[in-house]
A and B are shown apart, each in its own frame.
Chain A
Amino acid sequence: MAEITPFTYRPGDSILHLLDTRLKFFIISLVNISMLPAGFISTGFYFFMLLFFFKKTGLRFFSMLSNMKFFLILLVFVFLARAFTITGDTVFSSFGVTVSNQGLAEGGMVAFKFFLIMLTGIIFSATTKPSSVKTAVQWFLKPVPFVPEKRVAVMISLALCFMPVILRQAKEVSDAQKARCAHLQKNPIRKTIGIVLPLLKKTFLSADNLILAMESRCYSDDRTDPEFNPSGKERGFFFGSIAVSICLILF
């Protein structure tokens, strides 16, 4: 079941693995926002920094790239769209489309920034346990009024826990349909309905059982608080990330 996508958690004990998840959330939001106005130099600098952290966490950069080829294709489209639509000094023009210098530069920059944001996300999800994402979300929601943060956390962990089960059930349903020649059905809507209905039924039945199981284990919203294990390096990373985002904005 454990298919390897670029966004799966890989156990390890690098500094990024040990860093407090709440801080990682903070850094990602800060850096990704400051990336918007960033210029060429600081973006390039940030790229090398990411490469350094890739190495630190033991992730393999090139195998990662091959895992995200669909995303790279998307980036090519982003690049082309920019290159064709922005006007300026003409590089070449034929069949009524004009490609400008500025368009190429702008498109390259936007695609590159998307790529870096993606890499940041990969590093984050590879070094962060889903369960600690859940506790961090719970912590951030705590000051928000009218949001039952503990219930949200239970919902996230249910989602994480049930995703593989639902995927497996979907596969079972689709196999069962294939065994009865459903693949001969060419109408895609009928085909989808044929899979979704049994799957929904199964999911609702599972939900009924789940409610009973939770109730029999004394489920209540008033639960033990989560726990955080800061690594002690948080302060350095906090100021470091602020410095990086100032650089990104200025240069």
Chain B
Amino acid sequence: MPKAIIDIKDLSFIFDDGFRGLNHISLSINQGEFIILAGKNGSGKTTFLRHLNGLLMPTSGTIRVNGLEISKHLIETRKTVGMVFQDPDTQMVGDTVFDEVAFGPENLKITRARIKEIVTKVLETLNLFHLKDRNPSTLSGGEKRKVAIAGILVMDPQVIVFDEPFSNLDYPGILQVLATIMDLHRAGQTVMIATHDIEPVIFEATRMIIMEKGSVKEDDVPLNLVGRLESYGVREPCFSKFGLEPQSWQK
């Protein structure tokens, strides 16, 4: 039995205007998993992810991270569950790549010397060190996403959650971000990705959750679900449409 990091019991969420965002969701996220969260626009993916690190609080139900109730342990939760947002432009806070990545550790009051050490290490791991003095808003789309990932990675989270990491990227940009995410997973990181384009990640994923109207409709190994994707408004990957073997996008 793998170790559950996040444990969700009967989670429901109702927006201020009465709209039912999430509907009785129960599941757990285990160490080492690579989960695709699929579903069409407005199915509740973003709403769900925001619950995982306490940006939204459940209307009913509970979420525990490493056994701790989220609402009472916000800082621990946010250190354990890192979140990479959809639009990198609006999540940058530093005026240089280095400062941007150092923002999280500074909030935790880690010492300056230690910050230097860990930021340098993360930038080197992600091959970003040569960009450390650039203003993040002048980078390419793929580089920006990688900087956003670095800013989360530096907090050493147990789970990294990505909301649409491939949107607005060209093909080389997608490959760049994909390679980064895959490396993380292979190094033992637990990963969850919300996306409506599952083609790039399906080869690597260990599990796929399909949402519709705020409910979890399917939760299984990805290859068992590919045939049913289109009924939920998610494009079926080409390989399965044409009856081929799944192939990694990575060269």
List chain A positions with a Cβ less than 8 A from chain B: 1-2, 11, 129-131, 134, 154, 157-158, 160-162, 164-165, 168, 205-207, 209-210, 212-220, 222-225, 227
Additional pairs, 8, CB under 8 Å, beyond known A131-B94, A213-B91: A131-B99, A154-B93, A207-B90, A216-B53, A216-B85, A218-B104, A223-B109, A224-B106
Is the pair A222, B109 in contact by a Cβ cutoff of 8 Å? yes
Is the pair B91, A223 in contact by a Cβ cutoff of 8 Å? no
Q: Which of B83-110 contact A (CB under 8 A)?
A: 83, 85, 87, 89-96, 99-100, 103-110
Chain B residues with CB below 8 A from A214, complex form: 93, 103
Residue of B89, B107, B155 near A223 (CB, 8 A) is B107
Give the distance to chain A from B51, nearest Cβ to Cβ, in Å: 12
A158, A161, A162, A223 — most chain B CB neighbours (10 Å): A161
Is the pair A210, B115 in contact by a Cβ cutoff of 8 Å? no
Is the pair A157, B91 in contact by a Cβ cutoff of 8 Å? no
* Residue B180 CB within 8 A of the other chain: no
The stretch of B6-14, B134-142, B205-213 in contact with A is B134-142
* Residue B75 CB within 8 A of the other chain: yes
Chain B residues with CB below 8 A from A161, complex form: 92-95, 100, 135-137
Give the distance to chain A from B236, nearest Cβ to Cβ, in Å: 31
Give the distance to chain A from B57, nearest Cβ to Cβ, in Å: 12
* Residue B3 CB within 8 A of the other chain: no
Residue of B55, B105, B136, B137 near A212 (CB, 8 A) is B55
List chain B positions with a Cβ less than 8 A from chain A: 50, 53-55, 75, 78-79, 82-83, 85, 87, 89-96, 99-100, 103-112, 115, 133, 135-138, 151-152, 155
Is the pair B90, A209 in contact by a Cβ cutoff of 8 Å? yes
Give Cα distance in the complex from A158 to B103, angstroms. Answer: 11
Is the pair A217, B151 in contact by a Cβ cutoff of 8 Å? yes
Is the pair B94, A157 in contact by a Cβ cutoff of 8 Å? yes
Give the distance to chain B from A155, nearest Cβ to Cβ, in Å: 10
Is the pair B85, A212 in contact by a Cβ cutoff of 8 Å? yes
Give the distance to chain B from A202, nearest Cβ to Cβ, in Å: 10
Give the distance to chain A from B55, nearest Cβ to Cβ, in Å: 5
Give the distance to chain A from B232, nearest Cβ to Cβ, in Å: 27
Chain A residues with CB below 8 A from B96, complex form: 129, 131
Residue of A1, A205, A220, A227 near B137 (CB, 8 A) is A1
Give the distance to chain B from A87, nearest Cβ to Cβ, in Å: 51
Name the residue on A nearest B110 (C-beta): A224
Give the distance to chain B from A131, nearest Cβ to Cβ, in Å: 5
Is the pair A224, B112 in contact by a Cβ cutoff of 8 Å? yes
What are 12 inter-chain pairs, A to B, with CB distance below 8 A? Answer: A1-B137, A161-B135, A161-B136, A164-B135, A164-B137, A206-B89, A212-B85, A216-B55, A216-B85, A218-B78, A223-B109, A224-B106
Is the pair B112, A220 in contact by a Cβ cutoff of 8 Å? no
Is the pair B95, A130 in contact by a Cβ cutoff of 8 Å? yes
Give Cα distance in the complex from A2 to B135, angstroms. Answer: 10
Residue of A215, A216, A224 near B111 (CB, 8 A) is A224
Given A209-B87, A224-B105: A157 and B111 interface contact (C-beta under 8 Å): no
Name the residue on B nearest A160 (C-beta): B95
Name the residue on B nearest A158 (C-beta): B93
Give Cα distance in the complex from A177 to B222, angstroms. Answer: 44
Name the residue on A nearest B109 (C-beta): A224
Residue of B54, B92, B107, B110 near A219 (CB, 8 A) is B107
Give the distance to chain B from A188, nearest Cβ to Cβ, in Å: 29
Chain A residues with CB below 8 A from B90, complex form: 165, 205-207, 209-210, 213
Give the distance to chain B from A132, nearest Cβ to Cβ, in Å: 10
Chain B residues with CB below 8 A from A154, complex form: 93
Chain B residues with CB below 8 A from A218, complex form: 75, 78-79, 104, 107-108, 155
Give Cα distance in the complex from A42 to B151, angstroms. Answer: 51
Chain A residues with CB below 8 A from B78, complex form: 215-218
Is the pair B93, A210 in contact by a Cβ cutoff of 8 Å? yes
Residue of B50, B54, B95, B155 near A131 (CB, 8 A) is B95
Give Cα distance in the complex from A250 to B91, angstroms. Answer: 53
Is the pair B85, A213 in contact by a Cβ cutoff of 8 Å? yes
Is the pair A217, B110 in contact by a Cβ cutoff of 8 Å? no
Is the pair A220, B107 in contact by a Cβ cutoff of 8 Å? yes
Is the pair A227, B112 in contact by a Cβ cutoff of 8 Å? yes
Give Cα distance in the complex from A68 to B104, angstroms. Answer: 39
Give the distance to chain A from B32, nearest Cβ to Cβ, in Å: 23
Give the distance to chain B from A171, nearest Cβ to Cβ, in Å: 13
Is the pair A209, B138 in contact by a Cβ cutoff of 8 Å? no
Give the distance to chain A from B92, nearest Cβ to Cβ, in Å: 5
